[in-house]
Every structure is written in C-alpha cells, then in structure tokens.
Chains A and B, each alone.
Chain A
Amino acid sequence: MLKDITLGQYFPGDSPVHRMDPRMKLILTIAYIVGVFLVSDLLGYALALAFLYLVVRVAGLPFGYLVRGVKPLRFILVFTFLLNLFFFPGTTPILSLGFFTLTREALQKAVFFALRLVFLVMGTSVLTLTTSPMQLTDGLERLMRPLTRFHFPAHELAMMMTIALRFIPLLLEETDKIQKAQMARGADFESGNLLMRAKAMVPLLVPLFVSAFRRANDLAMAMEARCYRGGEHRTRLRELKYTRLDALAAAATACFLLVIFAEGRFLG
C-alpha cells in the first residue's frame, strides 16, 4: 500500500522542456517567479498565465496536473486571502457591515496575493514535473558549486538528496512491514484520541530508526569499498551541457520578463 506512493511528481516525457538542462530550468523558474512578483495588475497575471500555458503545452503536460498541485495549498490560500481582506488598511470602502469595512485596496491585495501563491506553485510544478529527481539534484549541485569556495557543502548536499531519494521507498516498505508485524501482535494504530495514537507509533518508530541506522552503517561501508572520497576529483556519467534549446528558453523567458516589466511601467 505504502509502496504505491509516487516519489516527487515527475511526469516522464521527451519534450523540449524535458530535454533542457536542469540548471537552466532552475534559473528560469526562479526568473519566472520574480517576474510574477513584479506584476501589479490583472493584465499582468493574464500574461503570466499565458506564458505558463505556453510552457505547459510545449512540455506536453496535462494542465490539470498543475491545478492538482495547487490543491494541498487551499487552506493557506484561503487563510492569506481572508487575512489580507480583513486587515489590509485601505481608503476606498466598497462595502460596510457593522464594524467591518471592505476596502477596494484590501480586496485587490487579497486577490493578488493569492494569485502570486498560485503562480509560485504552478511555476515550480512545471520544473518538478519535467525534471527527474536525479537531474534536479545534479542541477542543484552544479549551480551551488561556486559556493564551495566559501566551504558550502554543495556535493554533500546533493549526495544526501540522492541517498534520501534512494532510501525513501525502502523505508516506506519497511514501515509497512513493521506496522503489519506489530498489528499481528495486537498493536492498535487506529483507535483512541490523538495522544493515544501518537503513543501507538512508538513501537513502529523505534524499530524503524534502529534499522535506518544499520542501513546507514552498511551503506557507508559499501560506499567506502567503492572508493568514495567526497566530491573532489569526481567525474559524472552525465555531464550537463547547455544547448541551443536552453538559449531559446532563456530568450523566451527574457522576453516574458521584458513584457511584464513594460506592461507594469506603461499600462499599470
């Protein structure tokens, strides 16, 4: 049951967006998010949506996937929306209900803030949907490499991410196994109040942790036996290379940023 959980949300494919260098995708995603945060009117959001839609079409992703990605955020969205609506100081009242006055500025602020969040999530979803976790860690490692000069552990972080990705399915499977074993001995994970249920997790978590440490020990030994000695002098099977595709995508994103900027400046 736990085994069926898909990791990340990679949507395999062979579109130009899939083939792009993960580093470029990371950079452009950040650029896009910055662009969205510069937007200050509805036309700007329409442009941002149009650009996103274009990318999604090129990537061959079903648009519903992106919308689904926003779903877990609905509580935060409603919460920030209401917070802004009630507490943002505005001057132009449009509705008055007793002690509460809804102002034009507050409404605008609330809507825009929610939109920003939605675009933030959808923008990053395009990245994670079109980039395998392995590529993503590779890209992150390369991008962070200049920071190693300031003793930033770029390689170690990427290695940790890779190992975590490798062992998550294993530990899930193991959790499932331990859970069944404890249930077979009469453990009850489902009834009782929150505190009781939390307490019932102890016989599950202790063996899981013990086993995780043992695995870590084994893995360290195996890595050492295969000459692992940190990031120095290490080569990679797949070298990352920028191609014309990346230049094209960068140009398109630059155009988008320019349009957004111009729109905010002259029409807004």
Chain B
Amino acid sequence: MADQENRIVATDLCYAYPEAAANAVDGVRMRVKRGEFLAILGHNGSGKSTLAKLLNALYVPTRGSVLVCGLDTRDDELVFDIRQHAGMVFQNPDNQIVATVVEEDVAFGLENNGVPPAQIRERIDEALRAVNMTDFAKKAPHMLSGGQKQRVAIAGIIAMRPDVLILDESTAMLDPSGRREVMQTVHRLNEEEGISVVLITHYMSEAATADYVLVMDEGKIALTGTPREVFSQVERVRALGLDVPPMTDLAHTLRAQGVPIAPDVLTVDEMVEEICRLSLKT
C-alpha cells in the first residue's frame, strides 16, 4: 500500500461525462498529504467540481486512478470505506441536510455505517462541538442561517472521522459573515485535528490561506504551487480567467508604476509590512 503520509494520490486522472466528447478532467496528477490544505481554483467549467467528485468515488475515473488513503476508487467494494475517509461538503446548504433536526442529520452518516447508538451520541456531541454548533443540536435546519447550515453539514462529515475534508464550493452561496464562519471552522479542523482539506473555491482570498494552490483549466492542471508562487504570476492567472487576491493586485499595479514592492504580497498585513520596509529604505 501507499505510504501513510499520502491521503490522496491521483495519477493520470481522466474523466469524461457519458456522451461528452472531451474529458472534463484530463490527465491530472496530484497528491494531498496528511494535514495539508489544498485549494483548487478554476473558472466555471474548468473541471474542478468534477475533480472533487472523483476524489470520493462519486465518479469513477475513465482512465488513471485515485487512491484515497491507499484505497482505489475503482474498486466497488471499497466505495463506502473511501467515502468515510474522504468526506464531502457541497455547495447548497439546503440540499445536503437530510433530517429535520440538526443532531439527527449529523447522525445520518454514522447511522448509515452501522455505528452503535451509544457511540453515535458521543460522536455527534464531539462533531457539533468542533464546529461550535452545540447549542443548536435540537433545532430544525430550516431555521438556521446559511453559515450555520454549512457548519452542520461539516459536522455531519466530521462525525465520520474522515482523513480528508473536501469542500466543493461550500462557501459560494453564503454571505460574507457565513463564509468567515465556515472558513474559520475549516482552518481550525485542519490545524487542530490534522484533517487534510481540499477546498474548491471561487474566492482568491480563501485560496490565499491554503498550503498549496492548484489551478484548473479545461480539465488540466494549468498552474500549481504555493499561493505565493501562483499568485505572483499575475498575468498568467488572469489569462486563466481568474482574479488575484486584492493585495497582490495592488502590488502588481504599484510595480507597474515603478515602485519596487515585492510581487508576492497576499494579505493586508503583508502589504503593510512591505510598505513600511520600503519607507524605511527611502
């Protein structure tokens, strides 16, 4: 089997939708290690959502393979094991909550896997605590805000104790405060519990906080590297139909005006530091 540190290994991964001429995902090679935070970017139709669904056996590759914790997604027998290792949170918070009570919904995955009732109770409490939703355990999902609903959905996945958490544009339908709630939760789970995260997103600011960024274009990997490496190639990123984080954009503009600022600034804090450094020099 693959070595312990690799959570997801994809080799020459291809997937074509039935009756589609071109591959939606075409020859992707990627690896996610234990505790790693990977962001996948790409414009609409670039194949990033398809890629996500290949990572937990919702789709089976037409060519190449995906190993999740050493388990091959092409093996029918392993499907449920794989989905337990790689949990997925979807885009629409309303369409992924099954039960009419929050704690019942968190229990759903555990019930499906035949976990004994006493343990289910324990794990629900643990999962709701991890996403800071303990007070809402008995509430009806339709009474919650979008961010709260997504946290419930995350709790439902966390309760299954996955090794990888895949977020398929899970913040796309949320308001800014809901987005912040969800991102904070995801980062905490990543740092404290060591859960690997694969974050598919439209938001550059979210991608900037990842360990690695992977940019998809027409099913292929167009760019890859740390957020700093990727976003410093401003022209290239723009050509792929994406924005760069606002501070990187500002640095780029300033450089074009002849200000000798570093091209790889990502956050406001870094920008402040960079400007201070410059003003000291002059």
Contacts and interface: CB of A to CB of B under 8 A. Distances in A.
Contacts, number: 94
A238 B111 contact: no
B94 A215 contact: yes
Nearest to A169: B142
Given A226-B156, A227-B109, A228-B112, A134 B84 contact: no
Contacts of B124: 237
Nearest to B103: A237
A236 interface: yes
A235 B92 CA distance: 27
Contacts of B157: 226
Interface string B66-88: 00000000000000100110011
Given A227-B83, A227-B84, A215 B95 contact: yes
A229 to B, nearest CB: 6
Counting contact residues on chain B (CB < 8 A from A), the size range is 35 or more
Contacts of A233: 114
A237 B83 contact: no
A225 B156 CA distance: 11
A222 B56 CA distance: 11
Given A134-B99, A219-B96, A219-B98, A226 B117 contact: no
A162 B99 contact: yes
A218 interface: yes
A57 interface: no
A226 B97 contact: no
A74 interface: no
Contacts of B114: 233-235
Contacts of B109: 226-227
B116 A134 contact: no
A170 interface: yes
A190 interface: no
B203 interface: no
Nearest to A137: B100
Residue from B97, B100, B141 whose CB has the most chain A CB atoms within 10 Å? B100
Residue from B95, B121, B141 whose CB has the most chain A CB atoms within 10 Å? B95
Interface string B91-130: 0101111111101100111111111110011001000000
A133 interface: yes
B160 interface: yes
Interface string A225-256: 11111000111111100000000000000000
B151 to A, nearest CB: 15
Contact of A237 (B88, B94, B121, B156): B121
A218 B104 contact: no
Nearest to B157: A226
B90 interface: yes
B58 A221 contact: yes
A215 B58 CA distance: 17
A34 interface: no
Given A162-B99, A163-B98, A227 B58 contact: no
Residue from A170, A233, A237 whose CB has the most chain B CB atoms within 10 Å? A237
Contact of A235 (B56, B111, B141): B111
Contacts of A165: 100
Residue from B94, B107, B124, B157 whose CB has the most chain A CB atoms within 10 Å? B94
Contacts of A234: 111-112, 114
Contact of A166 (B97, B120, B160): B97
A76 B119 CA distance: 50
B98 A162 contact: yes
Contact of A223 (B94, B98, B120): B98
A225 B160 contact: no
Contacts of A219: 95-96, 98
Interface string B138-155: 001110000000000000
B146 to A, nearest CB: 13
B120 A235 contact: yes
Contact of A227 (B97, B117, B160): B160
Nearest to B92: A218
A132 to B, nearest CB: 8
Contacts of A227: 80, 83-84, 109, 112-113, 160
Given A219-B98, A234-B111, A225 B121 contact: no
A229 B120 contact: no
B87 A225 contact: yes
Interface string A151-180: 000000000001101100110010000000
Given A236-B111, A237-B121, 6 more contacts: A162-B100, A219-B98, A221-B90, A226-B109, A226-B156, A237-B124
Interface of B: 53, 56, 58, 80, 83-84, 87-88, 90, 92, 94-101, 103-104, 107-117, 120-121, 124, 140-142, 156-157, 160
